[in-house]
Amino acid sequence: MKLSNVALFMGACSSAVANPVHELLYRRDVANGTTVAGGSNSSAAGDASNGTATASSTSPSSTAATNVTGGGYGNSSSGSGSSSGSSGSVSVFVTGGTSTLSNSSGVDVNWLFNSSQSLNVTQLYQISIQINQTLGQGSNNGVVIVSNAESLESLGFFSSLVFNTDKPIVIAQNAATGAAIAQDPSSKARGPLVLGDNHLIYPGVFAPSAGETSSCAAVGIASDASNATWFFENSVPALTGPSSVIKQNYTNFTNIDVQNTPVVPIIYDGGYSTQIISSLTSASGFVIVSSGVNSTTSSIGNTSVPVVFAEGGSGLHFVGDEDVPQGTIPAGYLSPVKAQILLSVAAVNGVSSSDALRSLFP
Ligand SMILES: *[C@@H]1O[C@H](CO)[C@@H](O)[C@H](O)[C@H]1NC(C)=O
Ligand SMILES: *[C@@H]1O[C@H](CO)[C@@H](O)[C@H](O)[C@H]1NC(C)=O
Ligand SMILES: *[C@@H]1O[C@H](CO)[C@@H](O)[C@H](O)[C@H]1NC(C)=O
Ligand SMILES: *[C@@H]1O[C@H](CO)[C@@H](O)[C@H](O)[C@H]1NC(C)=O
Ligand SMILES: *[C@@H]1O[C@H](CO)[C@@H](O)[C@H](O)[C@H]1NC(C)=O
Ligand SMILES: *[C@@H]1O[C@H](CO)[C@@H](O)[C@H](O)[C@H]1NC(C)=O
Ligand SMILES: *[C@@H]1O[C@H](CO)[C@@H](O)[C@H](O)[C@H]1NC(C)=O
Ligand SMILES: *[C@@H]1O[C@H](CO)[C@@H](O)[C@H](O)[C@H]1NC(C)=O
Ligand SMILES: *[C@@H]1O[C@H](CO)[C@@H](O)[C@H](O)[C@H]1NC(C)=O
Ligand SMILES: *[C@@H]1O[C@H](CO)[C@@H](O)[C@H](O)[C@H]1NC(C)=O
Ligand SMILES: *[C@@H]1O[C@H](CO)[C@@H](O)[C@H](O)[C@H]1NC(C)=O
Ligand SMILES: *[C@@H]1O[C@H](CO)[C@@H](O)[C@H](O)[C@H]1NC(C)=O
């Protein structure tokens, strides 16, 4: 599909879908529904654990969902047992953002660090070691990663690549809201979820870039302090679903025991040349942000490292074969940051051939 057609399509999508949603959000903000984080009042955690108790008795829908996505996923013991609901807990990992939660029944809080900057791939892999261990425990019902605003997108996308689980993985700036969503049985079997600034809940694969509020790919909304309203039945995005190329053919992407993380620079808008690419010898690949149709057609030449073109800016775009110089890889609908993470994870696992990489990108 040509870029311009996609832009038109997406424009139609946001005007049709966004308005009612924004109306809802606007009313929320006026009503100041986001009081969860407030001071020492720990009612959010209390409400949330009551939520789990009621939910486990009414679980036919979550059992059905487990069957749907069972294919390539691990056998998560929390899935069906009606007894596990009361004993299991959600683990919160704080890497930034806001957390006033303390350990309580049903929630345990782990402080990793408090970063206000965008997390790099090294840090993403570090975090994933503990999360992987936690997800492997039978008593665990899900994970919340509390993050600064800049890292929501990379955490969402990275988690979608490296974790295989039906358990909820919720990435949010506020620990209490994230924990409430993770304790909602309906958040299972959706892949990692990202809670945006605007209360919308996105699949990790479609997490908006920092500061953006695209509503097109949202799957739900955090409609009040402890409840989510879901727009869709449980399902996972095709790119990282159980039958995707990434999960079927690249099973080693879940390997998180990584010693050296690669360098994959993002080069903006016309600021690149074959010279830059050949001078950065330590890079395992490059993401070039193209600013639209035919923005650059100079040939990239025979670089030995992969070069991916992704489009920046707000909303979803699609960069296809016809939009990029020969020998380079179009990022499809992936943003520059998501393309960078996918290239990095591929590089970590020694996947660098052009054909292999093309099969990974949408
Ligand atoms: C909502 O809360 C914010 C931050 O606490 C405050 O600045 C704002 O005035 C509040 N709005 C209303 C309508 O109460
Ligand atoms: C929590 O806040 C609510 C509303 O402000 C209040 O009614 C309630 O008593 C508070 N609970 C505690 C434990 O402070
Ligand atoms: C929540 O659970 C606690 C302890 O199980 C109970 O005392 C409290 O009444 C419950 N709250 C609601 C709103 O059900
Ligand atoms: C899910 O799988 C179980 C066991 O295989 C089966 O008993 C149950 O009927 C399935 N549920 C649905 C909705 O297919
Ligand atoms: C999942 O694990 C449970 C408990 O270990 C086991 O009884 C069940 O057969 C497993 N299901 C599958 C599909 O492997
Ligand atoms: C919560 O409990 C875990 C152990 O279960 C502990 O490692 C952690 O430090 C505790 N967190 C807080 C904030 O006390
Ligand atoms: C990632 O950030 C950490 C902490 O700021 C730093 O020590 C590390 O070198 C960075 N890694 C890369 C690959 O930039
Ligand atoms: C945790 O990592 C191991 C290998 O490192 C992998 O086999 C397993 O699937 C991972 N667990 C999850 C939940 O992704
Ligand atoms: C969450 O939704 C349930 C069912 O719709 C409702 O009973 C409960 O009061 C809601 N919780 C809050 C905090 O509004
Ligand atoms: C993935 O693996 C299957 C089976 O091994 C193979 O037929 C298929 O061509 C592979 N696809 C890609 C894109 O590598
Ligand atoms: C893009 O460039 C090609 C070749 O230079 C040209 O044929 C085509 O018309 C251009 N497309 C647009 C939309 O400018
Ligand atoms: C990871 O898997 C891919 C696809 O099977 C393979 O090409 C690659 O060599 C593997 N990487 C490592 C380090 O084994």
**Distance between CA atoms of residues 18 and 12, nearest Å:** 10
Residue of 198 and 62 predicted with greater confidence: 198
pLDDT at 348: 95
Asked whether 217 and 316 are in contact (CB, 8 A), the reply is yes
Residue 202 included in any domain: yes
77 C-beta closer than 6 A to ligand 5: yes
Residue 40 included in any domain: no
Checking if the pLDDT of 60 tops 70, the result is no
Whether residues 110 and 180 fall in one domain: yes
What is the percent of the chain with per-residue pLDDT over 70, rounded to a whole number?
70
Asked whether 343 and 284 are in contact (CB, 8 A), the reply is yes
Residue of 3 and 47 predicted with greater confidence: 3
Domain count, the chain: 2
Q: How far apart are the CA of 172 and the centre of ligand 8, in A?
A: 22
Residue 76 included in any domain: no
- Rounded to two decimals, the pTM is 0.71
> Which structural domain range is residue 284 located in?
262-360
Residue 282 included in any domain: yes
Whether residues 297 and 187 fall in one domain: no
Span 309-326, mean pLDDT? 83
The domain boundary, picked from 230, 253, 273, lies at 230
The ligand whose atoms approach the alpha carbon of 104 most closely is 6
Residue of 325 and 11 predicted with greater confidence: 325
Residue of 88 and 270 predicted with greater confidence: 88
Whether residues 197 and 276 fall in one domain: no
pLDDT at 269: 61
Whether residues 266 and 140 fall in one domain: no
pLDDT at 282: 84
pLDDT at 270: 62
pLDDT at 312: 83
Whether residues 226 and 275 fall in one domain: no
Checking if the pLDDT of 68 tops 50, the result is no
The domain boundary, picked from 177, 208, 230, lies at 230
pLDDT at 4: 40
Q: How does pLDDT run across 136-178, given as a tens digit for each residue?
A: 999 999 999 999 999 999 999 999 999 999 999 999 999 999 9
Query: Where residue 333 sits, what CATH number does that domain have?
Result: 3.40.50.40
Whether residues 130 and 192 fall in one domain: yes
Whether residues 102 and 222 fall in one domain: yes
Residue 33 included in any domain: no
The domain boundary, picked from 230, 252, 275, lies at 230
Span 273-292, mean pLDDT? 79
Tokens of 128: 């994933």
Checking if the pLDDT of 258 tops 80, the result is yes
**Distance between CA atoms of residues 43 and 164, nearest Å:** 32
Q: How far apart are the CA of 141 and the centre of ligand 5, in A?
A: 16
Query: Where residue 188 sits, what CATH number does that domain have?
Result: 3.40.50.1170
Rg (CA), the chain: 20
Q: At what angle do helices 336-348 and 121-135 cross, to 10 degrees?
A: 70
Whether residues 223 and 319 fall in one domain: no
Mutate to test the pocket of ligand 9, among 224, 227, 230 (most ligand atoms within 8 A of CB): 227
Mean of per-residue pLDDT scores for the chain: 75
Question: Residue with the nearest Cα to atom 4 of ligand 8?
Answer: 255
pLDDT at 78: 34
Please provide the distance, in angstroms rounded to a whole number, between the alpha carbons at the two ends of the chain: 12
The CA-atom distances, in angstroms, between 141 and each of 36, 49, 120, 137, 302 are: 21, 12, 27, 9, 49
Residue 220 included in any domain: yes
- Please name the amino acid found at residue 348: V
- Residue 358's pLDDT band, with cuts at 50, 70 and 90, is very high
Q: How does pLDDT run across 78-127, given as a tens digit for each residue?
A: 333 333 344 689 999 999 998 888 998 899 999 998 988 999 999 999 99
Q: How does pLDDT run across 218-245, given as a tens digit for each residue?
A: 999 998 877 899 999 999 999 999 999 9
Residue 271 included in any domain: yes
Whether residues 327 and 217 fall in one domain: no
47 C-beta closer than 6 A to ligand 6: no
Whether residues 172 and 280 fall in one domain: no
**Distance between CA atoms of residues 221 and 210, nearest Å:** 18
Residue 206 included in any domain: yes
Q: How does pLDDT run across 169-208, given as a tens digit for each residue?
A: 999 999 999 999 999 999 999 999 999 888 899 999 999 8
Whether residues 302 and 223 fall in one domain: no
Whether residues 207 and 318 fall in one domain: no
- Of the ranges 36-40, 71-75, 135-139, 357-361, which one carries the lowest mean pLDDT score? 36-40
359 C-beta closer than 6 A to ligand 10: yes
